[in-house]
Chain A
């Protein structure tokens, strides 16, 4: 191992381009945030508290999960378990970016991770599968998603009548449809199909039979295990440093 020089060339102008790339999807996130702001105030949080939570936690599904346990008092451990379980996918998402993140300085690495969320991660991971290294979307896309989430929460908290029923407009499906379009934008080789099949079946089984909120991690690890034994053919341009591997 040579001394670290952090080979990743972080390009500021690309950050701006990625900001605008995720701007359209962020408009939907505003609506989703409004739904959270509304739900939060209905659960007894003040508008300020709702906005603060979106500002610092920035993880929608887990915030909704916490609201389910909200009352005049909150049991701390169950709430933290729910938040951890729902957000545990971040552990895997972050790990999957490590081949790129190891090539930036630790300060920048963990700074970028502050903005890690589903949509910008999905773009970055998909680009990586297609041989492009794109950490800029984590920052540029993350900032626009985060602004949208906080702004939407404020809308919902202050103008609660605005979006009483986001489901009627299909807005609860924004993230699902977005992630699906990312999946289908990739190349489906036989190896990838087997990975999907294993991930799909195990996540469903976990959702049905294991405690709540574990299905994403279980399905992702099971799909990953396929990759552990069935190595992918080397993609040119993915990495220069790893030299002679044991290709199959």
Chain B
């Protein structure tokens, strides 16, 4: 099934995208409302929470260019040194920009 990107067609596509995204925003919480939160379940979701972050970042580092890797390494070093997110992110972006400019 295809939709032509006429004004009405685009509107329909945007509505569909919105609905699918809404299902993902609501679905996890809705499903959890049928689960009793035991210490084991809580341990699972806490471990899952930090895993979401790792699972986004690691492939990003491996798939990205040298600039992406430089950004993540610079952010990590700054964050471990001074433990403040904003300076760490800024250093990361500067590192990416420099590597891409000179690379």
Contacts and interface: CB of A to CB of B under 8 A. Distances in A.
Interface magnitude class on chain B = 35 or more
A232 B97 CA distance: 40
Interface in B36-82: 37-40, 42-64, 67-68, 71-72, 75-76, 79-80
Q: Which DSSP category, helix, strand, loop or mixed, fits chain B's interface?
A: helix
Given A79-B16, A80-B17, A216-B55, 12 more contacts: A76-B2, A77-B1, A84-B20, A98-B32, A98-B33, A98-B37, A168-B101, A173-B71, A200-B54, A203-B58, A228-B47, A242-B39
A177 B75 contact: yes
A116 B42 contact: no
Nearest to B10: A49
Contacts, number: 308
24 contacts: A49-B7, A56-B15, A72-B4, A73-B4, A73-B5, A73-B9, A76-B13, A89-B52, A90-B21, A91-B27, A95-B29, A96-B28, A110-B29, A167-B100, A173-B92, A176-B60, A176-B61, A181-B75, A184-B88, A185-B79, A203-B55, A204-B59, A220-B48, A230-B43
A181 B35 CA distance: 31
A71 interface: yes
A52 B68 CA distance: 30
Interface of A: 24-25, 28, 44-45, 49, 52-53, 56-59, 62-63, 66, 70-77, 79-80, 83-84, 87-99, 101-102, 109-110, 113-114, 116, 118, 122, 125, 128-129, 167-174, 176-186, 191-192, 195-196, 198-200, 202-204, 207, 215-228, 230-232, 234, 238-239, 242, 245-247
B93 A177 contact: yes
Contacts of A75: 1-2
B93 A169 contact: yes
A92 B100 contact: no
A247 B43 CA distance: 11
Given A167-B100, A185-B83, A219-B54, A224 B27 contact: no
B53 to A, nearest CB: 5
B89 A25 contact: yes
B14 A49 contact: yes
